[in-house]
Amino acid sequence: MASIDKRGKVWRARVRIRGFAPKTRSFDTKAEAEQWAARIERQLLAGEDTCPDLASEMTLSEALERYAKEVTPTKKGAEQELRRIRAWQKRPLASLKLSLLTAAHFSEFKKERENEGKSANTIRLDLMLISAVFKKARKAWGMPYLKNPIAGVELPGGSKWRDRRLDEAEAQRFHRALAQQSDEMFKLIVTFALETAARLSEILRLRRTDLHVRRRIAILRDTKNGENRGVPLSKCAVEVVERALSLHDGERVFPMTRVQLYRSWRKLCDSARIENFRFHDLRHEATSRLLERGLTVMEVQRITGHKTLAMLLRYTQMYDNHVVARLDETEDSGAPSGWAPLESHGEEYGTAHQRPIATGLVSNVVMFPSCRRRL
C-alpha cells in the first residue's frame, strides 16, 4: 500500500507491502511521487524485488561481524563459534554481497572442505552458521525477502557417535607422555576429566565456590543440558582439585584457556604417538571405566549427567570383553550361576576396586596414591 505526504517543500512517497522492506523516496512534485509509488507497488506485488537494498550492500563478512556482536555472545559455545566466524571471514566468499550468494557457492565450499579432509560434522557446522546468519538477517535486520542459500545445499549428515578408546599399548604411552608434560595444571585437568567424565567446558568453568570437598561433590553449572548438576568426586578427584587450588589464588579451579589446553593436548598426543584421540574422548573413556568398575547405569548417570539412559546405554557395547571376563571370574569362584555379585565399589565413588580397569595398565602419571589404579 502506498502513501503520499508533503514534508516541507518535497513530496514523500512510501510503499509498504507485507513481506518486503518499506520503500521510501522524495520528489519535487506530487505527480512524480504517485507515479513512482504505483510502479514500485506493481513490482513488489509481482515479486520483482529480487535485489533488496540492505542485502545488496552488506557483505557476508559484515553480516558475520554483526552476528558475532549481537548473537554469538548469548550462546554457550560463543568462543568456538567466534573462531568459526573468523575462519569464514578469511574466505573469498566473505567479500560477496548477501544478495549475490547462492546455493552453488556453498555447494562448492562443501566440496572444498571435503577435499581438505574435514569431517562431515565440521562442514555441517560451518554451513549451519551461515544459515543462522541469513535467518537473522531475514527476521531482525530488515531483509525479509532475502533467500537463504543454505536451503538449497545438501548438508552432510550429523556426527556419528565416537567410540574411540585407548588400547592397552596406547594407554601406557599416553601416561608416560603425560607424566613428562611440564604443565602441571594441564596434567591435573586431564586426570580430573578421567575421574569425573566432565566435559571440558564444565571443567574450565568450575569455581572454588562450586566445590564441597567434605561432601565430595562438585557443582557443574550451566552444563550442556542447560542445568546445574552435582557430581560425586572420587578420592583421586578430590586430591586433584585440592592440588589445583594450591597452585593459585584465583576463583577458577583450573585457570587455563581452551587455546592453551588444546596446544598442550596436541603436544601430548604427538609425544605419545596417538592419532585421532580428542580431549572429549576422555569423557567416553571415563564413562566406560565407571561401568567397568561395576557401577550401575543409574549410578554412572548420576556422575556423567547424561540426559537419558538411552544415551548412556551406548557405552554398554564398549565393554563386552569386560563382561565376559566377569562371567569367567564368577564361574571360577564357584558362585551360583546367574547371581554372582558385582564387586563392591564402596560407600563413595572412587574407592579402590579389586581389578585394574584394563589388564596390565598401571598409571605412573598422577602424583596421588588414589589415582594410581587409573588406566
Q: At what angle do helices 235-246 and 184-196 cross, to 10 degrees?
A: 150
Candidates 166, 184, 182; CA nearest to 368 is 184
- Element holding 220 (H helix, E strand): strand 217-220
- Catalytic annotation on 199? yes
Q: Is the dihedral angle over the CA atoms 338, 339, 340, 341 positive or is it negative? A: positive
- Catalytic annotation on 224? yes
Q: Check 113, 175, 235, 315 and give the catalytic one.
A: 315
Q: Check 113, 147, 175, 199 and give the catalytic one.
A: 199
Is residue 245 within 8 Å of residue 253, measured between CB atoms? yes
Candidates 131, 54, 60; CA nearest to 101 is 60
Q: Check 135, 139, 224, 314 and give the catalytic one.
A: 224
Q: Check 84, 187, 283, 293 and give the catalytic one.
A: 283
100 is written with which cell numbers? 549475490
Is residue 234 within 8 Å of residue 350, measured between CB atoms? yes
Q: Which letter, b or e, does each residue of 51-74 get, where b requires 16 or more Cβ atoms within 10 Å of its Cβ?
A: ebebbeebbbbebbbbbbeeebee
- Catalytic annotation on 136? no
**CA–CA–CA angle 367, 180, 167 (5° rounding):** 85
Q: 3-class DSSP state for residue 232?
A: strand
**Judging by DSSP bridges, how do beta strands 23-27 and 10-15 pair with one another?**
antiparallel
Is residue 276 within 8 Å of residue 328, measured between CB atoms? no
188 is written with which cell numbers? 591435573
Q: Check 86, 215, 280, 314 and give the catalytic one.
A: 280
Candidates 143, 175, 207; CA nearest to 371 is 175
- Catalytic annotation on 284? no
Q: Check 306, 322, 345, 373 and give the catalytic one.
A: 306
Quickly list H helices, the chain: 30-45, 53-57, 60-70, 78-89, 103-115, 120-140, 168-179, 184-196, 200-205, 235-246, 258-272, 281-292, 297-304, 309-313, 320-333
DSSP 259-303: HHHHHHHHHHHHHHT--S--TTHHHHHHHHHHHHTT--HHHHHHH
Report, as residue numbers or ranges, the catalytic residues: 199, 224, 280, 283, 306, 315
